[in-house]
Chain A
């Protein structure tokens, strides 16, 4: 077998409050494609950012081409021969294709840039990859898929011998994916090692030699792809024991409250339809980037809708901006609490009052302190927000309590539909259970609850019905009884057939 060209041992990396990598080991041989697999947040990207010098590891050994390395920087990693294609596009949109490809290692004649040389070289690389692009075109004017190809060309132009691809196909068309796979096979022949991260398991069979599976920041196993099956891989990916408790209350399922019909908004929300009933929590499962957050944003009127109808209690409501949704009784607790959910520099009182100022003010627009106090006191008590007083800045609360404030904003109104987007992300187990209790209470009060979560155990534990999305479309619906992680994951990876086999 070929030589081991990358060996990572016992790698640890912690971010404030999170242990992203916990003694992870990884190896890569020359001439192979190693798939790095795991659920959202398993630490795949973090591990690869350590290998490419974007993050510095806290502990562990890193050996590339037989040589030990201390702290890597992106530049050093590039010189060693490691190139990464980041998941998020990292292009200077004002610069041309050639300029982006050679950014940071420009060719020069004396002190002047050798522009025509770089353009010719870029054209050679693009031609070799059969990418039809003018190297002088400005990157910002290209569609996303072309930008992705530029990113690939950039990585290859460094003559990398270790190439990391983090979700390279997410923005590509079928033909471009074929091209990419052809390039990957050619690179393999040349002896490059390729790390391939993808949620699209069905892609793997075309290119992958071995798989490494990670879960919750830990190394799980490494296998030859031939000796395993997709089912086995999925089982390893999700195999965590469910330790958290999921309080479930049963309710009589009542009448239909809320319905979304053929909603389209951009690329990530395509023909989405579903209904919410009184007395049930509907979970929305899927992989990161499945379009769930975008769906909540489109419903709430944050992003523009291309088409589709929304019905509340049987009547169509037109939602063009968040205020329309709030007035109709549809509210959203957004995914990113600190960015979209709270004004962290304001106090709890100011945060809770903010969307309710319409009825907290007297007719001259002066805020009525007594009413404000009353609403805040009720929210603090109902939600058990742990704080010395309501004047505390929202920034100083724990994640769980911040989430309660986000919800508390809406409880003062008689909302009909409450949308939770990843409400338990980054909060501890006890606080999670309180959030579950809160959702259950809303459900008992007859409020329709839409619950987006990427953590499958909690979706299965809390939701009465599970809608699964993939790539902007609803790919299936499961009742709580019939749902298993395997079923959800298989629906969540049901991408449209893009690959010509």
Chain B
């Protein structure tokens, strides 16, 4: 009972989930240096800036997916929701709607999908894989329908070049203090959601329902409200990713955000977020997103083909989950056998 005045560094290092995150950071540094040795341009300032910017999308989508994974669920709809967000905002802007209004409308539509996911999974207990597979198609359907099955024209055609540039700069091309705005957006949201998950009651409840929903419920935690909040976070993050994609392209692409839900899973899992729920921290997701982007970027720089890139990334993801499931949960399973045989019901 004397370790209360613990060294703060020790305390941070002993945070749950820090192990997975640190492993991912170590992996990140190793990969980065390895690529840099092969091709020193990897270390160039411009490359680092580019890296940070393109990583931002994966980070945001990873934050959303990590929230869901920690509750013990999955959200397959986030890529499509990003596409929906891009298409709705772009379509509105080509019709001359003010960008801020367009953003808000896109956000509301995305949050509706989030609430729907929360109800399907939290209230009606649909398997999350199936429920969000459904909303994935619905959201992608909406993305196609809003502009009548066509990609939009350049948003400048509706709101004028000046406003279109402002939009593009805010989300993608502009930079502040020498760092691209995209990264600032991602980092601000990262801090907000990091705080929400690790320091607030909602965050605690997210871990609790992912760890043992029954116990949480008997302790007075609302599983429905908590599940819905998590899906709202993932919908919000995908919406922002959609806006970034829209700003990057200067138009709406119906296929925007395709497969991003899986990139989100990959970022979380590489960073030590357990796909079985209850564990993981967003620092891990940050590292995971960076690993992912560094691999993509580095393999590109050393001239590896797309096929090789995919293959390597696939191996990394499976390796990360292998660590999680086989090592950590193997140890856990031995414990549960004993626990399961304790005296039971009345």
Contacts and interface: CB of A to CB of B under 8 A. Distances in A.
Interface of A: 40-46, 54, 73-75, 78, 86-96, 99-100, 103-106, 108, 111-113, 123, 127, 134, 138, 140, 144, 154, 166-167, 170-171, 197, 266-268, 288-289, 291, 294, 303
A166 B217 CA distance: 18
Given A46-B346, A113-B200, A113-B201, A74 B217 contact: yes
Contacts of A112: 195, 199-200
Interface residues of B, number: 35
Contact of B208 (A42, A95, A123, A267): A95
B341 A268 contact: yes
Given A74-B217, A104-B220, A171 B342 contact: yes
B16 interface: yes
Nearest to A88: B344
A90 B346 contact: no
Contact of B342 (A42, A92, A144): A144
A360 B344 CA distance: 39
Given A78-B220, A94-B278, A104-B221, A89 B200 contact: no
Nearest to B198: A113
Given A78-B220, A91-B212, A92-B211, A144 B338 contact: yes
B105 to A, nearest CB: 28
A140 B344 contact: no
Contact of B218 (A54, A105, A170): A54
Given A89-B339, A111-B200, A113-B199, 18 more contacts: A42-B346, A44-B346, A73-B220, A92-B216, A93-B212, A94-B16, A94-B207, A94-B278, A95-B211, A96-B16, A103-B221, A108-B200, A112-B199, A127-B1, A166-B346, A170-B342, A266-B341, A294-B341
Given A94-B279, A123-B1, A138-B16, A86 B218 contact: yes
19 contacts: A54-B218, A74-B218, A86-B218, A89-B342, A90-B218, A92-B207, A92-B208, A92-B216, A99-B204, A103-B204, A108-B200, A113-B199, A113-B200, A113-B203, A123-B1, A166-B346, A170-B342, A266-B341, A289-B343
B8 to A, nearest CB: 12
Contacts of B177: none
Nearest to A91: B215
A105 B199 contact: no
Interface string B305-346: 000000000000000000000000000100101110111111
Contact of A93 (B211, B343, B346): B211
A303 B333 CA distance: 13
A167 B343 contact: yes
A87 B345 contact: yes
Contacts of A171: 342-343
B31 to A, nearest CB: 29
Contacts of B203: 113
Contacts of A268: 341-342
A41 B342 CA distance: 18
A95 B207 contact: yes
A108 B16 CA distance: 20
A106 B346 CA distance: 31
Contact of B346 (A40, A78, A291): A40
Given A92-B208, A94-B210, A105 B220 contact: yes
A45 to B, nearest CB: 4
A108 B201 contact: yes
A79 to B, nearest CB: 9
A43 B16 CA distance: 40
Contacts of B218: 54, 74, 86, 90
A48 B200 CA distance: 32
Nearest to A119: B4
Given A75-B220, A111-B200, A138-B16, A90 B212 contact: yes
Nearest to B14: A136
B346 A87 contact: yes
Contacts of B332: 93, 140
Contacts of A138: 16
A378 B201 CA distance: 61
A41 B343 contact: no
A288 B342 CA distance: 10
Nearest to B221: A104
Contacts of A54: 218
A96 B338 CA distance: 20
A52 to B, nearest CB: 9
A498 B1 CA distance: 28
Nearest to A269: B341
Contacts of B279: 94
Nearest to A73: B220
